Structure 1
Amino acid sequence: MSTFIEHIVRLTDHRDRDLLELTLSKALLDLLPVSRIVIARVMREDAESRWLEVARLDAKGGGRVIDPLRIDFSSLPKLEEAPDRLKCLALRDRVEVAWAGPEGPRITMLPLFSQLREEDQGVLELHSEAPLSDEHLQIIDHMRRIYRNMYSLLEFSDRDPLTGLLNNKSLDDAFYSAVLEDMNEVPASRTHETKADQERRHRVPANYWLGSVKIDNFALIAEHHGRPISDEILSRVARIFGNTFRTYDRLYRLSDDHFGVLLHCPDEALVLGAFERFRANVEKYTFTKVGRVTVSCGFTTVLADDSPGTAIEKTIKAVDFARRSGGNKACSYPGLARRGFFGVPQPDQDASTAST
């Protein structure tokens, strides 16, 4: 069994927030007399909230760790289907569920975060054969505090201070870890993969898309109205960005008026639909002292040999095409390429996909 200090070192050694839940779960399994650890986060899409178990590990081995980008949101349980978790969030305190008497097996639930921010809601569940002692609960409290501190530090370093979106620095790590799954630790559910399976998994991304958004005529807006108004526009567009896309899509501010999004979606038409909703939401919003503002969007599928730079370059070509066509448009790079706008027309790989 590893020592408490060793687990602190492992938890504070991370530079990737997506691995913190896995490391916390492993630490608690090692330090406590529990049979299972579950970390459930609240995920949102189109004003609906559901539970996502980002980590579920068993003391005897096995379990799973879920990449939020790859989930089917409609398959997740609704919040009301887990009333004890909801009670834990509402009370912001420990909730115990015992089903075989006061000294029997139970699930101990604690809020993962101390502050009930809408974007950071989660529950830590510990399954045990008997009540946890005060000493055990103290260990849990210490590990939660370390987790929260690391989460906050990494979030601060990954965020753009004006918009609250992820910054350019964090895109490279997310691109390679989420898209190519080039991670140091393989989830327990994949430990029996063959070498051929692992090589294929590292070569072929599965339906990931990268998109770029630029505000039409932003330089003229900034020149005419000044920096305070242009910063307000950037903040408002970022808020619409966050409200339109799913909570598990990764949203970025890549440069001054250049926003980006990394998402997982099985169909090009659905991706185009998401960008069209965002474009329309920006167009119908009334901006103070400016009135109507529009955006041009471009997106591309991520290929196995893409880097963040090459994928962004494709999205910018689609954005430039949208602007040359008058702006206030969302364009698909693969759709434009199939029509020959970037050279020799490419074959249509999926007849159901959108053309622009």
Structure 2
Amino acid sequence: MSELVDHLAHLTGFRDRDVLDVTLVGAFKDLLQPLSVAIYRTVADPNGERWLTRARLGHGDVAATADPAWVDLDQLPLIDEHPVRRDCLRTQEVRFQPGPPHVSLFPVATDREVVGVLEIETAQPMSAEAQRMVGSILRIYRNFQGLLDYSERDTLTGLLNRKTFDETFMKTVVTLPAAAAQGAAAEGRRSKGSGQGYWLGVIDIDHFKNVNDTYGHLIGDEVLLLLSRLMRSSFRFHDRLYRFGGEEFVVLMRCSSDTDAAQAFERLRANTEHYAFPQVGHITVSVGFTQVKPTDTPSAAFERADKAVYYGKTHGRNQVASHADLVARGELAEDGSKVGDVELF
């Protein structure tokens, strides 16, 4: 009993979701001594849902393995390749696959949705007592995930909030190539290799004050909620989506070039322009983005993207503006000020 309490205390001692999943599989490995234990989650893909490994420990493994946060979806197995796991997810019921090895599958849920499956392989069928223990720990895990959601997510849109941005950003920066850290790669330059660069985009709804003034704040909130859904459908599952407050949103993404980033933001701009918002009709957004530099602080990268947004909003709105492109064209100086006699900031 004391060992179980120790594991629960350890499990709820972290505020990092990646560490939380690793801790969870580690706890089950110690408590059940299985052949393997893993957490799988589903991610959306145009060709169908796929399985993402969040954490997996084999019997002899010292450290858990997991798929990279920015993994290429084509490398992941389709959901139908594991039908019992799929059925566990969709029915939200515990499933068993006779062995050997014997596989027990438990749905992993948050307060909002079922997000994955816990899969435990054992030499013998899992006892009823062990099943109850697993279910109890998963309920604690679910409650703790709810607390994390409350502290990390915007209550209206469900997107990540500003408090979580700095930590995620700094984790991103430390993964950038060391050569770039020495200044070898200027902003906007294509990265060597696919998926090696990070881009930060700031999204601002055009004339949002008019929406609130004309239709009221309840309708304004509905616009924000619907835009957050458009963002989820326009970007990939591993792109980080934030609401910074008001009508301002932020995206942190990984891609191979300034052109690829521009295409992603243009997709959101077009999707928003063509979407019919109830009562309001059509709205537009202005987007500014910049490549993240290895020496960047969160505020420095945000400031460059924000200045690109400002340029777009003062030059017609409903457009995507690249800070690197504006600098190359002489519209902005490297520090973000306007080239010429008049300073924008």
The answer, yes or no, to whether TM exceeds 0.5 is yes
User: In structure 2, what is the equivalent of residue 97 of structure 1?
Assistant: 97
Displacement, 1:276? 0.8
Sequence identity (%): 36
The answer on whether the counterparts of 1:2 and 1:31 sit within 8 Å (CA) in structure 2 is no
- Name the residue aligned to 2:295: 305
Secondary structure in 2 aligned to 1:64? Answer: coil
Match of 2:161 in 1: 167
Q: How does 1:1-356 map to 2 (within 5 A)?
A: 3-46=3-46, 48-61=48-61, 62-68=63-69, 70-99=70-99, 104-113=100-109, 117=113, 120-180=114-174, 206-343=196-333
One-letter identity of the residue aligned with 1:65: A
Instruction: Measure the CA separation in 2 of the matches of 1:10 and 1:342.
Output: 50
In structure 1, C-alpha distance between the alignment counterparts of 2:311 and 2:227, rounded to whole Å: 21
Q: Which amino acid aligns with 1:123?
A: V
* 2:173/2:293 contact within 8 Å kept: no
**Rounded Cα–Cα distance in structure 1 between residues aligned with 2:316 and 2:117:** 48
Q: Residues 130-174 of structure 1, C-alpha deviation per residue, up to 9 Å, x if partnerless? A: 222223222211221111111111012112122221111111222
Question: How far apart are the structure 1 equivalents of 2:275 and 2:265?
Answer: 16
The 1:36–1:270 alpha-carbon spacing in structure 2 relative to 1, beyond 3 Å, is: same
TM-score, normalised via structure 1 length? 0.82
1:179, CA displacement in angstroms? 4.1
Over 3 Å counting, the alpha-carbon distance change for 1:116 and 1:343 in structure 2 is: closer
User: Cα distance 1:244–1:2, how it changes in 2: closer, same or farther (>3 A)?
Assistant: farther
- Label 1:114 to 1:252 Cα distance change in 2 as closer, same or farther (>3 A): closer
Report the AA paired with residue 3 of structure 2.
Answer: T
Q: Aligned residue pairs: how many? A: 321
Contact 2:34 2:122 (8 Å CA) reproduced: yes
* Structure 1 position 338, deviation (Å): 3.2
Change (3 A) 1:329 1:21: same
Compare 159-168 and 217-226 and name the one that shifted more: 217-226
For 1:139 and 1:344, the matched residues in 2 are separated by: 58
- For the 8 Å contact 1:46–1:244, the answer to whether it is kept is no
| Amino acid of the structure 1 residue aligned with 2:6 | E
Q: CA deviation at 1:17?
A: 2.3
Amino acid at match of 1:218: F
How far apart are residue 42 of structure 1 and its match?
A: 0.6
8 Å CA contact retained: 1:17, 1:155: no
Runs of 4+ in 1 over 6 A off after TM superposition: none
Residues in 2 aligned to 1:114 and 1:231: alpha-carbon distance in whole angstroms = 24
CA contact 1:208–1:265 (8 Å) conserved in 2: yes
The alpha-carbon deviation at position 63 of structure 1 amounts to 4.2
Query: 2:326 is matched by which residue type in structure 1?
Result: L
Unaligned runs of 5+ in 2: 183-194, 336-345
